[in-house]
C-alpha cells in the first residue's frame, strides 16, 4: 500500500485545491492531508477560516482518507507519525524540493517527493486561489 501525504493551508476551498488532492490521491492508495495551522502560515496572508474548520472541510472531500492539523512548532511531526511513501506538493507550492528531501533525510524519513499537475483554467474568470476569491468578494460587496 502506498501512503501519500499532501499539505497546504486550504483556507477557502476552490477547484485548485480539489485538483491538487485528486492528483495526490492518484499517486497512491491512501491520502493523508496535513492542514497547516494558522501560526505556521508565514508565506502569505493569514487564513480567514479557523484551523479545525479548514481540517474538517478537507476531511469531507472524497479523495481524502484522513485530514490532520499540522504541528504548531514542528512541521515534520505529522509526517513522522504518518510515515508516507510519497509527499505530493502542489504544482505552485513554495517548497524547494531539494531542501525538503534533505530535511526529510536528516530525520530518517525516506519518501519520494512529487509535484501535482497544474489545473488548466478554462476561463479567465475561474477563481483558483483563496486570495483571488477574497479580492472578488471585497470588490463586489464593497
Residue list for the binding site for ATP: 9-10, 14-17, 92
What's the 3-state SS for the chain? CCEEEEEECCCCCCHHHHHHHHHHHCCCCEEEEEECCHHHCCCCCCCCCCHHHHHHHHHCCCCCCEEEECCCCCCCHHHHHHCCCEEEECCCCCCCHHHHHHHHHHCCCCCEEEECCCCCCCCCCCCCCHHHHHHHHHHHHC
- Pick out the residues of the known binding site: 9-10, 14-17, 92
Amino acid at each position: 500500500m502506498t501512503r501519500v501525504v499532501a499539505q497546504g493551508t486550504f483556507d477557502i476551498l476552490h477547484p485548485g485545491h480539489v485538483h491538487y488532492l485528486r492528483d495526490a490521491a492518484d499517486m497512491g492508495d491512501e491520502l493523508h492531508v496535513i492542514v497547516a495551522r494558522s501560526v505556521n502560515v508565514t508565506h502569505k496572508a493569514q487564513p480567514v477560516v479557523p484551523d479545525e474548520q479548514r481540517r474538517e472541510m478537507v476531511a469531507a472531500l472524497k479523495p481524502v482518507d484522513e485530514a490532520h492539523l499540522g504541528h504548531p512548532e514542528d512541521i515534520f511531526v505529522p509526517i513522522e507519525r504518518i510515515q508516507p511513501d510519497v509527499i505530493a506538493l502542489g504544482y505552485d507550492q513554495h517548497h524547494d524540493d531539494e531542501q525538503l528531501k534533505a530535511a526529510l533525510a536528516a530525520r530518517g524519513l525516506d519518501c519520494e517527493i512529487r509535484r501535482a499537475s497544474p489545473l488548466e483554467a478554462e476561463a479567465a474568470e475561474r477563481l483558483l486561489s483563496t486570495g483571488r476569491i477574497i479580492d472578488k468578494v471585497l470588490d463586489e460587496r464593497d
